Structures are given as C-alpha cells and as structure tokens.
Amino acid sequence: MPVPSDLHFYVDPARCIGCNACVQACSECDSHKGQSMIQLDFIDTLRSPQTVPVVCMHCDSPTCAEVCPADAIKRTEDGVVLSARKPRCIACNNCVLACPFGVPKMNTEMGLMMKCDMCYDRTSVGKKPMCASVCPSQALFYGTREEIERLRPASQAVQTFQFGRQTITTRVRMMVPRDAPGQVSVTDGFSDPGIGHEVSDDVYANVSIGSHS
C-alpha cells in the first residue's frame, strides 16, 4: 500500500521546544534498528532556547540520489526517499555533502548512509510517522491539508526552496507566516540575524548581577 497521497508531513519550527521526543521516538520505529534519523538542531544556546527538528524533506528530485555513484538511494513511487541500500552503499559520503538540507548521516559503524524515511514501514500502512505522532508541540505534524489549514490559520505551507540557483521542491512542507513569500530562499536567510536574539539580549537589561556583588 502506498503512503496515502492526501497525507502530508509538515514542519513548523516556531513551535519546537527542543524536548527531544522526536529523536527518542525515531529510534523506536521498528525498521530503524534502534537508530534515530532525526536531528534536533540547537541554533544558539547562548542566546535562545530555539531549536529546530530536521527531518528529510523528501525532495521530488533528491540531490542525495542524484550524486550517488552507486545508485544506492531510491525514491519510492509515492515520493519517499529511503536510506541507502546496504548492498550498494559504498559509504562515500557524497550524499552527506550534497544534500542542501543537511539530512543524510553516515553511520560509520555500519558503513551505511541512514536517513529519515518518513517511517515508511508505518506510513505505507496508513500510520503516522513516530516523530509526528509523539511531538508534544506538534512542530512536526502529519495529516491532511484541510487539517493543517484549519489548525494553523496564521501560517501557510511551503514546499519550494531556493538554494542559490537551485530550486528544490519537496514532499515535506514547511510552515511559514501566512504573509511570507510562497517559497523559502535559504541563501537570503544567511544575512538575517534571526528572530529572538534581540529579545534575549534585552530582556534582563535592567537586572544587575546581584545587589551585593
């Protein structure tokens, strides 16, 4: 059974609370062999508790597969990009270096690239992926477009990403503010100082370090 075409994976980084539930749950997916294939990125722990969960975006034309010299990375008919196939993977790291989202990781012990497969053993039988099932803040959400539109009226789902001259469309969608452009220009973001830094810089401005010190 293919992954139902009306069910989509949405990432809403603004909701992430860094609790690690996605990471812990990923390793419990029966086909993941105890490995977690989701990353939780800490943006700048000095300044902010902001964290971002990084799942595979499941690109329509996956760069990881395109650069693989062994043809080890397969995209299923229903649009899920799988971990490298063990008999073919030569652990060359091309995919790790080439993925614009930084998703594939080399499992050096196994000599195998492993990455988020959207819990294909679950989603292909109609179940939700582990991470989106457990996510306490629902920064990771799995459901229909109608559901997400009803639940997140202030946001829109984006699935086109611009990396310099490379345009990537993905199966996984990113939630951005409703009035934002319909595609995310990643390289433009490099010069953006980020939201929230000023907040934590200023919030205790009037507090001295101790009335007696």
Partner 1 sequence: MPLPEPENLSLLATFGPHRAYERDRAQEPGADEHLVKTHCCFCGQQCGIQLKVRGDAVVGFEPWYDFPFNKGKLCPKGIKRYLQNHHPDRLVRAYTKDASAPEGFRALPYAQAIGRVAGEIERIQSTFGKDAFAVLSGASLTTEKTYLMGKFAHMALRTANIDYNGRLCMVSAGAGNKKAFGVDRGANPWDDILGAEVIFIAGANIAECAPITTDYVWQARERGAKVIMVDPRLTPLARTCDLYLPVKPGRDVALFNGIVHLMIANDWIDRAFIDQHTVGFDALAAHVAEWTPARTAEVTGIAEPLIRRAAELWGRAKTSFLMHARGIEHHSHGVQNVLGAINMVLASGRIGREFCGYATITGQANGQGGREHGQKCDQLPGGRDLANPEHRAYIAGVWGITPDELPQPGVDAYEIFRKVDSGEIRGLLSICFNPLVSLPDNNFIRKMLEKLEFFVAIDFFMSETARYADIVLPGSLHEEDEGTVTQVEGRVIKINKAVPCPGEARQDWVIIQDIARALGRERGLTFTSPAAIFDELRVASRGGICDYSAITYDKIDAHYGVFWPCPDTGPDGQPTPDHPGTKRLFEPGSWNPIARGAGPFYFPDGKARFNVSLYSPPREDVDTDFPIILTTGRVVSQFLSGNQTRRIGPLVDHYPEPRVEIHPRLAEHLGVVDGDWVRVSSRRGECTVQASIVRTIRPDTVFIPYHWSGRKSVNQLTIAAQDPISKIPEYKVCAVKLEKSTAPAYQADLEPQQ
Residues near partner 1, by CB under 8 A: 14-15, 17-21, 23-25, 27-28, 30, 33-34, 45-51, 128, 130, 133-138, 151-154, 196, 199-201, 203-204, 206-213
Of residues 72 and 130, the one with the C-beta less far from partner 1 = 130
Q: How do the residues of the chain divide into helix, strand and coil, expressed in percent and rounded to 5?
A: 25, 25, 55
The string of DSSP codes covering 139-191 is SEEEE-HHHHHHH-TTEEEEEEEEETTEEEEEEEEEEEETTS-SSEETGGGGG
What is the spatial distance between Cα 69 and Cα 135, in angstroms, rounded to a whole number? 36
Of residues 22 and 168, the one with the C-beta less far from partner 1 = 22
Least gap, CB of 116 to partner 1 (angstroms): 17
Least gap, CB of 83 to partner 1 (angstroms): 16
Of residues 24 and 39, the one with the C-beta less far from partner 1 = 24
Least gap, CB of 136 to partner 1 (angstroms): 4
Half-sphere exposure of 124 (CA within 13 A, CB side): 15
Q: How many CB atoms lie within 10 A of CB 14?
A: 14
> Alpha helix (H) ranges present in 83-144?
94-98, 120-123, 130-134
Least gap, CB of 16 to partner 1 (angstroms): 8
Least gap, CB of 29 to partner 1 (angstroms): 10
Max alpha carbon distance in the chain (Å)? 69
Of residues 81 and 174, the one with the C-beta less far from partner 1 = 174
Of residues 71 and 198, the one with the C-beta less far from partner 1 = 198
Least gap, CB of 147 to partner 1 (angstroms): 12
What is the spatial distance between Cα 99 and Cα 63, in angstroms, rounded to a whole number? 6
What is the spatial distance between Cα 19 and Cα 53, in angstroms, rounded to a whole number? 10
Of residues 185 and 200, the one with the C-beta less far from partner 1 = 200
